[in-house]
């Protein structure tokens, strides 16, 4: 037993020494191996990839026959391009959407909006405007040129009475995150496949949910990453939040709460 303990201590010492000698390389390797973002999502067909010039740009959720819920930063600054360059599709695989069949499955978008679109923004005293420096109120809508295919997509409506108490979920109940973002934060070729995974939010404030991975404790930890922006955080098929932002290594994330923005969302659904 003593020999086993001594060997264990020696092994631990070697690991610590190696880490101290090349901590930066070790950290990079850990991120490359451990930041993995989920399993194939064939379930949530109302989660769609938002394409810009046939390339995955963001993720969204079809919540009405002509409305997609997404992040404000997927809309702001691109208003003049939406009708001519933006499309959407709920195909599972959108990695390289260049062949004719893939292009034919893309549907047109015509416009979009976000909190404060018609104002001068937070710097001019707008209290309910999207702030692209802090990502506050990072929630937006994109409008479809024609009705979504109800059979293929089945929009997930926003139900005022369905939202659970957030205090009963935070840190307790796992949420299901879905999106077309990177499956590996170091490999841009992994973008464009709808993936899903479950993990809980760590904390919340009035407008945002926060979460982070902990690869030291759980090597299989996952998180959202580039391309997942605008995708849903789901709880029992309720869109609780919208993927907003995170750090460069995709280990810390933040999602905009839907319940805090319900009045704005419902008042801006497409009337078509």
Residue 182: Cβ-neighbour burial (10 angstroms; 0-12, 13-18, 19+): buried
User: Region 166-187: what's the mean pLDDT?
Assistant: 81
Q: Spell out where the chain has E strands.
A: 39-40, 47-52, 55-64, 67-70, 86-89, 107-113, 140-144, 175-179, 195-199, 203-204, 208-212, 232-235, 238-246, 252-257
pLDDT of residue 124: 60
In angstroms, rounded to a whole number, what is the distance separating the alpha carbons of residues 33 and 247? 17
Q: For domain 47-157+261-267, which CATH number applies: 1.20.1050.10, 2.40.10.10, 3.90.1150.10, 3.30.110.60?
A: 2.40.10.10
Over residues 181-204, mean pLDDT: 77
Amino acid 94: pLDDT: 83
pLDDT score for 54: 85
Report angle CA 259, 262, 264 to the nearest 5 degrees: 145
Q: What residue ranges do the domains of the chain occupy?
A: 38-42+160-259, 47-157+261-267
Res. 102 pLDDT band, cuts 50 70 90: low
Mean residue pLDDT across the chain: 79
Quote the DSSP letter at residue 158.
Answer: -
Query: Mean pLDDT highest for which of 30-34, 43-47, 268-272?
Result: 43-47
pLDDT of 244 > 60? The answer is yes
**In which band, very low, low, confident or very high, does the pLDDT at 1 lie, cut at 50, 70 and 90?**
very low
Residue range 239-246: mean pLDDT, rounded: 92
pLDDT at 29 over 60: no
Domain 38-42+160-259: which CATH number of 1.10.10.10, 3.40.50.720, 1.10.3720.10, 2.40.10.10: 2.40.10.10
Region 241-259: mean pLDDT is 86
How far apart are the C-alpha atoms of 138 and 230, rounded to whole Å?
9
Report, as an integer, the average pLDDT of 102-116: 88
pLDDT at 140: 97
Show the tokens assigned to 209.
Answer: 């949910």
Position 218 confidence tier, pLDDT thresholds 50, 70, 90: low
Q: Do the domains spanning 38-42+160-259 and 47-157+261-267 agree at the CATH topology level?
A: yes
Burial 139-177 (b: 16+ CB within 10 A, else e): bbbbbbeeebeeeebebbebeeeebeebeebbeeeebbb
| Residue 114 confidence class, pLDDT cut points 50, 70, 90 | very high
pLDDT of residue 101: 61
Report the range out of 77-91, 158-172, 208-222, 226-240 with the highest average pLDDT.
77-91
Residue-level pLDDT at 104: 66
């Amino acid at each position: 037993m003593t020999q086993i303990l001594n060997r264990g201590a020696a092994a631990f010492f070697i690991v610590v020494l190696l880490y101290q000698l090349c901590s930066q390389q070790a950290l990079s390797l850990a991120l490359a191996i451990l930041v993995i973002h989920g399993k194939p999502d064939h379930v949530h067909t109302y989660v769609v990839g938002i394409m810009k010039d046939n390339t995955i740009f963001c993720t969204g959720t079809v919540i009405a026959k002509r409305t997609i819920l997404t992040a404000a930063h997927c809309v702001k600054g691109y208003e003049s391009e939406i009708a001519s360059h933006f499309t959407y599709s709920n195909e599972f695989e959108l990695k390289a959407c260049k062949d004719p069949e893939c292009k034919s499955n893309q549907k047109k978008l015509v416009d979009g909006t976000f909190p404060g679109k018609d104002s001068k923004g937070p710097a001019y005293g707008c209290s309910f405007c999207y702030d692209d420096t802090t990502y506050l109120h990072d929630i937006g809508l994109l409008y479809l040129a024609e009705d979504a295919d109800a059979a293929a997509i089945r929009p997930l409506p926003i139900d005022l009475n369905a939202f659970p108490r957030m205090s009963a979920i935070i840190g307790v109940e796992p949420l299901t995150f879905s999106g077309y973002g990177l499956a590996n934060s170091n490999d841009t070729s992994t973008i464009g496949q709808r993936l899903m995974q479950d993990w809980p939010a760590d904390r919340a404030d009035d407008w945002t949910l926060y979460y982070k991975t902990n690869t030291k404790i759980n090597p299989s930890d996952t998180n959202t990453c580039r391309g997942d922006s605008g995708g849903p955080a789901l709880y029992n098929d309720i869109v609780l939040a919208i993927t907003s932002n995170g750090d460069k290594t995709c280990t810390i994330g933040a999602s905009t709460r839907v319940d805090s923005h319900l009045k704005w969302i419902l008042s801006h659904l497409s009337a078509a």
